[in-house]
């Protein structure tokens, strides 16, 4: 028994809705694939602003606060959360004497341009630190700063997600004047031996240090993105093509037989004329 016209129309509408839905999924997956290619671009942090305050001198004790504001350029289409600030040390460059601690504040490096705040404290006390206190109070000194923090990125990719943890791990140096509450430019490198610290008042071109991700991690994230989004794109558009072909076949099967199954009409006048012409 042939399907009724109503059933054919209903199936045609249902398949059309499926086509629209699959097109949306395929286009959305293709958009995500373009948006997250590459999945991560290195974030550069520089243009440091240093603030020294809270100076307290009492007998053989000296303490001060050291705040460093890093401006970071984030070219990725997502924000990075600073979830694991690690505590670093502040050293006197000449003797590697520990002066205090420094760590990043938990926060977010926003898409485009974000900022990272580093909070440090310098505190020395006692007879053993008298010489260091004297040198610090005498004028500007060079100090080393160990800056480390980890960020986290977790983005949803339709049927999967990728997670990476960019790390900032730099050895930095700066010239500070505790009593004058001034500081020079910050320079960073992979180790303290490669640092060149400029004196206060000497202007240098702001440097930038990159926040990278292990190549193996990026490769895994890229492979996962390409696999799942590629499958979504391929399946969605293949199903669209299949449903369109089915609709075309249904139209052909339903319409063509009707066209040729209609009875032929004979003109009565033509028939009469033909019969009359055959009489003797």
252 & 144 share domain: no
Q: Is residue 241 part of a domain?
A: yes
pLDDT at 27: 92
Regarding whether 76 and 203 lie in a shared domain, the answer is yes
Show the 3-state SS of 88-115.
Answer: EEEEECCCCEEEEEEEECCEEECCEEEE
239 and 151 in one domain? no
**Residues 77 and 168 grouped into a single domain:** yes
Q: Beta strand 61-74 with 43-58: parallel, antiparallel or unpaired?
A: antiparallel
Residues 208, 44: contact at Cβ < 8 Å? yes
Report angle CA 235, 238, 244 to the nearest 5 degrees: 135
- Structural domains in the chain (count): 2
**DSSP designation for 59:** T
Structural domain containing residue 129: 43-212
Are 145 and 100 found together in one domain?
yes
Instruction: List, for residues 83-115, the tens digit of each pLDDT value.
Output: 777 888 888 888 888 888 988 888 888 888 888
Q: Assess whether 18 and 130 both reside in one domain.
A: no
In this structure, is residue 145 part of a structural domain?
Answer: yes
Domain-located, residue 66: yes
Are 172 and 69 members of one domain?
yes
**Residue 136 resides in a domain:** yes
Assigned domain for 206 exists: yes
- Do 196 and 135 lie in one domain? The reply is yes
Describe the chain by its helix, strand, coil percentages, rounded to 5: 35, 40, 25
Q: In whole angstroms, what is the distance from residue 112 CA to residue 58 CA?
A: 45
In a shared domain, residues 19 and 125: no
Inside any domain, residue 268:
no
Could you say which residues of the chain have pLDDT below 50?
202-207, 260, 266, 270, 272, 274-278, 280
Torsion sign across C-alpha atoms 107, 109, 115, 121: positive
Q: Does one domain contain both 150 and 201?
A: yes
pTM listed for this prediction: 0.67
Q: In terms of C-beta density within 10 A (0-12 exposed, 13-18 middle, 19 or more buried), how is residue 131 classed?
A: exposed
pLDDT at 23: 92
In a domain, 217, yes or no: no
pLDDT for the residue 24 = 92
10 & 93 share domain:
no
65 and 12 fall within a common domain? no
Q: Is residue 218 part of a domain?
A: no
């Amino acid at each position: 028994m042939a399907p009724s016209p109503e059933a054919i129309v209903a199936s045609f509408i249902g398949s059309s809705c499926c086509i629209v839905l699959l097109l949306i999924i395929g286009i959305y997956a293709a958009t995500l694939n373009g948006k997250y290619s590459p999945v991560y671009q290195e974030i550069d942090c520089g243009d440091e602003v240093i603030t020294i305050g809270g100076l307290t001198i009492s007998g053989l004790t000296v303490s001060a606060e050291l705040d460093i504001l890093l401006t970071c350029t984030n070219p990725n289409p997502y924000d990075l959360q600073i979830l694991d600030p690690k505590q670093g040390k502040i050293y006197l460059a000449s003797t590697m004497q520990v002066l205090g601690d420094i760590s990043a504040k938990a926060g977010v490096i926003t898409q485009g341009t974000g900022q990272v705040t580093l909070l440090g404290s310098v505190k020395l006390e006692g007879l053993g630190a008298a010489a260091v206190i004297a040198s610090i109070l005498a004028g500007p000194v060079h100090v080393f700063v160990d800056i480390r923090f980890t960020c986290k990125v977790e983005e949803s990719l339709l049927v999967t997600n990728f997670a990476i943890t960019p790390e900032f791990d730099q050895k930095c140096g700066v010239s500070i004047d505790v009593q004058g509450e001034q500081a020079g430019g910050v320079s960073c490198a992979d180790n303290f031996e490669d640092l060149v610290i400029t004196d206060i008042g000497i202007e240098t071109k702001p440097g930038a240090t990159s926040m990278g991700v292990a190549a193996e991690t990026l490769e895994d994230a890229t492979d996962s993105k390409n696999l799942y989004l590629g499958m979504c794109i391929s399946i969605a558009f293949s199903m669209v093509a299949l449903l369109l072909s089915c609709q075309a076949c249904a139209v052909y099967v339903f319409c063509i037989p009707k066209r040729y199954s209609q009875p032929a009409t004979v003109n009565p006048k033509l028939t009469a004329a033909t019969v009359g012409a055959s009489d003797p």
